[in-house]
Amino acid sequence: MPDETVLRAKAREVIRTGKLPSRPPHHTRGGTGAGAPCPVCGEDVTKDQLEIEVEFSHDGSNPGLDKFHIHVR
């Protein structure tokens, strides 16, 4: 299990490379994993793990909602 510092650095990298928006999310929800891949570590968030679901709404030419499932830690 990587330590918190490594995970935080990874999360910053994910934001920096544009995989996650850097602006505040439109909506967040905590809960158990949905089996979707976590963009920070690349592994699925399984049902026995906790995740934060973050949603970013975006407008412009392609309005919609981006949803990410991220491990709580």
Give the interface with Zn ion as residue ranges (CB under 5 A).
38, 40-41, 71
- The least CB distance from residue 4 to Zn ion, in Å, is 12
- The least CB distance from residue 38 to Zn ion, in Å, is 3
Nearer Cβ to Zn ion, position 41 or 52?
41
What is the spatial distance between Cα 4 and Cα 26, in angstroms, rounded to a whole number?
A: 25
Nearer Cβ to Zn ion, position 16 or 64?
16
Given a contact cutoff of 8 angstroms between Cβ atoms, the answer to whether 38 and 51 are in contact is yes
